[in-house]
Amino acid sequence: MPQHDFPVPGPVRVQAATRASDLTVVADDVARATVRLDPTRPDGDGQALAESTLVELTGDTLRVEVPQWRTRLFGPSARLRITVTVPTGSSVDATSGSGDVTTVGRLSAVVVRVGSGDVALGDTDDVDITTGSGDVTVASLGTGQVLTGSGDASVGTVRRFLRARSGSGDLVVGSVTELEGATGSGDLLVKELTGRAVVRTASGDLTVRRAVRGQLEAKTASGDVHVRVAEGTAVLLDCSTVSGGLRSSLEPGAEPGPDEPALVLRARTVSGDVTVQRTT
């Protein structure tokens, strides 16, 4: 199980091309960058792949590159589990075909391009993720972009801004200040909105479980729009549907004061329903 160790004075930039191998980057309070290469099978092919993998540190850039490897006619091909440990605040730029990419700990920036692999990130300030059919999970981010083809995407906390797109996958966002989100046939869920969101789907449903303040623009063709507004938040409603239904349980209220929370809600559907309710 080859392991490479490099003393480093501070955060580094990890550049990784892993093909079918899985990559885990751990950010911790360390003064060394460590790369561990574990074959998924204890045979000659796995060991040879590990020994052929490029690992080098040039300046503050740590490169890990898995070479093209022969494909077996029978049985699984050789793959690695790559574990990289770097100082907190480092960055990652990773590409993969079918391998997964995982990060643990706080990183400054993460760029990931994968085909069918899954992506799971911890706390990252800047995020840029593109996947084909893989799923995406991000615990928290400052500013980010997440693009998926058929995979689902889930982001916990968005401190500043998120742009998210999915073809047929679902999008779930926990707490968000500013969001631009769109899906084709997938559903889009926002658990808590405290700023501005522009969300669109073709046939998926749009749901905001708790809107505290700000602006919400929701548009869908055949999907439904469900919005729950926090108690005490004044709401300006501008909703319409061509053949769907409109339902609101909100009581008319006075114009809010300058320090009181308010929400501007604009919702448009073609055949879907629009429902607006209160929540605690």
- Kindly state the tokens that stand for 20: 């079918």
Length of the chain: 280
Q: What is the pLDDT of residue 73?
A: 45
The gap from C-alpha 262 to its chain's centroid, in whole angstroms, comes to: 28
Q: For a pLDDT cut of 90, what percent of the chain falls above it?
A: 88
pLDDT of residue 71: 59
**pTM above threshold 0.85:** yes
Contacts of 73 (CB under 8 A, 6+ apart): none
Q: pLDDT, tens digit, for every residue of 107-140?
A: 999 999 999 999 999 999 999 999 999 999 999 9
pLDDT of amino acid 170: 98
Q: What is the pLDDT of residue 76?
A: 56
Residue-wise pLDDT for 219-243, tens only, equals 999 999 999 999 999 999 999 999 9
Q: CB of 97 within 8 A of CB of 115? A: yes
Question: Is it the case that residue 145 has pLDDT exceeding 50?
Answer: yes
Place of tokens 């199980």: 1
Instruction: For the chain, give the mean pLDDT.
Output: 94
The pLDDT of residue 103 is above 50? yes
Q: Where are the domains of the chain?
A: 135-280
Average pLDDT of 158-181? 97
pLDDT tens digits, residue range 31-84?
Answer: 999 999 999 877 768 888 999 999 999 999 999 999 987 655 444 578 999 999
Three-class SS of the chain: CCEEEEECCCCCEEEEECCCCEEEEEEECCCEEEEEEEECCCCHHHHHHHHHCEEEEECCEEEEECCCCCCCCCCCCCCEEEEEEEECCCEEEEEECCCCEEEECCEEEEEEEECCCCEEEEEEEEEEEEECCCCEEEEEEEEEEEEECCCCEEEEEEEEEEEEEECCCCEEEEEEEEEEEEECCCCEEEEEEEEEEEEEECCCCEEEEEECCEEEEEEECCCCEEEEEECCCEEEEEEEECCCCEEECCCCCCCCCCCCCEEEEEEEECCCCEEEEEEC
**Tokens of residue 116, six digits:** 């069918």
